[in-house]
Amino acid sequence: MGKRSRLSLPVLVVVLAICYIYCTTIFIFIDHWFGLWSSPGLMNAIVFTGVAAICVFSYVVAIFTDPGIVPPSFVPDIEDPDTPIKEIKRKGGDLRYCQKCSRYKPPRAHHCRVCRRCVLRMDHHCIWINNCVGHMNYKVFFIFVLYAVIACIYSQVLLFGSIISGPLKDEQQNEGSSESIYVISGVLMIPLSIALCVLLGWHIYLILRNKTTIEYHEGVRAMWLAEKGGEIYMHPYDLGPFENLTSVLGPSILFWACPTSRHIGSGLRFPTRYDNLAATSTS
């Protein structure tokens, strides 16, 4: 299967929105409030440009990074008791096999109907990056959302500050167009900021529980079945908040906000809470 183009209409919409927000923030909001070439204006322009640059870089990396494909050579080792080749959330313990790809799936891998392949630690397929969010690009996707929230909130502060600071334009001929830009910016950024904050909060919750979006929905059903049987369901990959954070964002707190993912491993095996229980019982 050949590589498909990463450019799509939703991606183009995101690029245009980023360009619009950046240009209006720098050349209208900051310029009107402080004066672009004043010391406060330059400082805010530099800081906002830095946030926007990291946001754009993370977005590009999320688009072009392969989320992680199951290697053609992957075969579950049924003789190795330490290899979680079975579907942990199911009591039956059947081997995970994808009928569409005609190959075995490692833990947390799922088949994407859009990409038409199995993706390692698949979270979801995102139309806004025209790519799956999976093992290899989940952190950089999260960092993109984080900096997008910061940029939107920062831009809104500058927008409202420039409105409060004084009249929009002294020239009569420019007054209507300037007011239109402020209205369009408010209509665009307020719902966008709310949506991005909800998305960021959702993924912070998932990271703290070491879940993917797919695993969350699977866990709801598994919890219902466990309660029906008089048992308690516990997510097998939940190692505790700090361990969950480090497994996704990296072992060093200094690099948590950086769009790098050198710590994630192959994506074919993940530590579980049962590993800790087994280690405790043998010690």
Catalytically active residues, by annotation: 126
124-130, Cβ contacts within 8 angstroms, sequence gap of 24 or more: 124/212, 124/213, 124/214, 127/8, 127/10, 128/10, 128/11, 128/14, 129/11, 129/59, 129/62, 129/63, 130/6, 130/7, 130/8, 130/10, 130/11, 130/63
Identify residue 123 by its one-letter amino acid code. D
Chain center to CA of 121: 13
52: Cα within 13 Å, side-chain hemisphere? 21
257-264, Cβ contacts within 8 angstroms, sequence gap of 24 or more: 257/143, 257/146, 258/143, 259/54, 259/57, 259/58, 259/61, 259/139, 259/140, 259/143, 259/144, 260/139, 260/140, 261/136, 261/137, 261/138, 261/139, 261/140, 264/135, 264/136, 264/139
Q: Which two tokens stand for residue 21?
A: 């927000």
CA distances to 22, 36, 61 from 32, rounded to whole Å, are 15, 8, 34
CA 239/CA 243 separation, integer angstroms: 6
Of residues 21, 22, 28, the one with CA closest to residue 165: 28
103: three-class secondary structure by DSSP = strand
